[in-house]
Amino acid sequence: MSELFNEMGGGKGQTRPPYVDIEAWLKTISSTDVERAKREAENRFRRQGITFAVYGDDAATERLIPFDIIPRVFSALEWRRLSAGIEQRVRALNAFLHDIYHRQEIIRAGRIPHHIITQNAAFVPEMVGVNPARGIYAHIVGVDIVRVAENEFYVLEDNCRTPSGVSYMLEGREAMMHLFPDLFVQQRVAPVDNYPALLRKTLESVAPAGCMGEPTIVVLTPGIHNSAFFEHAFLADEMGVELCEGGDLFVSDGALYMRTTQAPQRVDVIYRRIDDAYLDPLSFKPDSAIGIPGLVDLYRAGRVTIVNAPGTGIADDKSIYTYIPDVIEFYTGEKPLLKNVPTWRCSEADSLSYVLDNLAELVVKEVHGSGGYGMLVGPTSSKQEIENFRAILKTNPSNYIAQPTLALSTVPTYTASGVAPRHVDLRPFVLSGDQVRITPGGLTRVALKEGSLVVNSSQGGGTKDTWVLED
């Protein structure tokens, strides 16, 4: 493994330019300052209700995600390069989704085998031939990116269904501006607080063609027990739109309505935060009690816009991931600006035997899993853990993909023993409607355990404010 890339120090003692002010600031603050700030930030998050639920954990269902007060910083130039790659990728993903649900040119051209698409559980046949407003399917995408060197970034995965975490990005920035206002005077940090306004603009821009006047938008949540309920309520509130559960909405005479204390109000755009399967018991899971019967028919007929569209999961499925570089070339005619992580498909015999021989060096993930569950991180696992996983992998190899363990970059982080490097990733949030809008920065997740590469909040990860410096 090559030397770890520390984003503050370039490795030879030289501080990287975007971090010069941060390094100076770190020298001026005492550990008591830090403790006080951390407590204040956490109190703030608790008051706001920013907690998350850990599945399969009986002891504490609601937890606070730890917040680290040392920001992660990108220069304006770094961000321009990165965001060009992100925009290229997201445009290609939307073009891919349109093609997959129409003529399937990419399959006809022999670039992707058809069974990977049409036999995929994430492919939704009801979407075939549907024409969503502006041809956009994935209006909100969270692209998970890691860095391994000065100019080397990799996309870990694309989240095209209902990516969450944007509320942590927004609240983290607000906490930092409140705790350390001077920092934002010294440096010009690109603002992120206009995200809800841009989200609203994006949603308005994809209202159905027949919608006259200002479109009515709602946020659809599965309810208070969902792990991201706080975020649903937060975004509805910030956008100034209603937060609804399925029972608040109904279909009548070919339109979607919301119950109100007065007359029912027509709804044009649903920003839904519930999974495809639960959206509409008439089209999908018949026993869904949180969906709206008839919604998908309205959508197919162009009477309402569902954001993100049903069936976008086919673009972020891990079995499709390995084809994304081809997808980008096919639809944009350009070389991908952002690289994929080299990936072995365990469904292929040669790959499987390589993976089985090298488990100790690899990360093995479920094709359909998420959130860091059911995976093996070879280098940090015991012999016994590796052997247990080997047995599971052999019983159902096509359920897994494997990747090398990347030497994720580190950013200085406050730990029990002072400031120390910890591994990070980045989830920028990309909005697609009348145009593509990328919030500068995004959510930086940090693996708080020394040496750990797993940044998921369910596995002991925290977050950091992410800065993009302005020129």
Partner 1 sequence: MRIRIHHQTHYRYAERPSYLVQRLHLTPTNFDGQKTIDWKISTAGIENALSYVDGFGNLIHLVTAHNLPLENIVLAEGEVETKDTAGLVTGLISNVPDTVFLRQTLLTMPDASISAELMQWGDKASALATAHSLMGHLHETVAYEVGTTQTNSTAAEAFARRSGVCQDHSHLMVGMARSLGIPSRYVTGYLVTGAGASSVAAHAWAELLIPDLGWVGFDATNCQSPTEQYVRVAAGLDAMAVAPVKGSRRGGTEAEQMTVEVRVEIAQQ
Query: By the criterion CB under 8 A, which residues form the site for partner 1?
Result: 101-104, 107, 114-115, 117-119, 123, 125-130, 250-254, 281-282, 293-294, 297-298, 300-303
Report the alpha-carbon distance of residue 274 to residue 288 in Å, rounded: 11
Q: How many CB atoms sit inside 10 A of residue 471's CB?
A: 7
Q: Distance (Å, rounded) from C-alpha 350 to C-alpha 114?
A: 21
**Least separation in angstroms between CB 138 and partner 1:** 19
- Please tell me the distance from the alpha carbon of residue 273 to that of residue 231, in angstroms, as a whole number: 10
For the bound state, the minimum distance from the C-beta of residue 463 to partner 1, rounded and expressed in Å, comes to 40
- 214 vs 253, which CB is nearer to partner 1? 253
Q: Smallest gap, in angstroms, from Cβ of residue 307 to partner 1?
A: 20
CB of 99 to partner 1, least distance (A): 10
The span from the first CA to the last CA of the chain, in angstroms, equals 34
Strand (E) positions, 277-317? Answer: 305-307
Please count the other Cβ atoms lying within 10 Å of the Cβ belonging to residue 384. Answer: 8
Cα(31)–Cα(54) distance, integer angstroms: 30
Q: Is the CA virtual torsion 342, 344, 350, 356 positive or negative?
A: positive
| Shortest Cβ 294–partner 1 spacing (Å) | 4
Q: Which is nearer to partner 1, 299 or 429 (CB)?
A: 299
d(CA 331, CA 340): 17
Tokens of 136: 């956009």
- CB closer to partner 1, 120 vs 452: 120
Enter the tokens of residue 398: 């096509």
- C-beta neighbour count of 432 within 10 angstroms: 26
Is the CB of 121 or the CB of 197 nearer to partner 1? 121
Using the minimum distance from each CB to partner 1, give the nearer residue, 59 or 263. Answer: 263
Residues in the chain: 471
Residues 6+ apart with CB under 8 A from 368: 121, 122, 317, 318, 399
Closer residue to partner 1 in complex, CB, 46/103:
103
345: tokens are 């498909």
Instruction: Kindly tell me which of 253 and 471 has the beta carbon lying closer to partner 1.
Output: 253
Least distance (Å) between residue 167 CB and partner 1: 33
To partner 1, the closest distance from the beta carbon of 109 in angstroms equals 13
Q: Which is nearer to partner 1, 230 or 299 (CB)?
A: 299
Burial string for 312-345 (b: 16+ CB within 10 Å, else e) reads bbbbbbbbbbbbbbbbbebbeeeebbbebbebbb
CA dihedral 345, 426, 436, 158 (to 10 degrees): 20
Rounded to a whole number of angstroms, the minimum distance from the CB of residue 221 to partner 1 is 20
The least CB distance from residue 140 to partner 1, in Å, is: 24
β strands within 136-287, DSSP E: 140-149, 152-159, 217-220, 242-244, 249-252, 255-258, 265-267, 269-272
DSSP structural state of residue 99: H
Residue 288 or 463 with smaller CB distance to partner 1: 288
Tell me the two tokens of residue 221.
């949540």
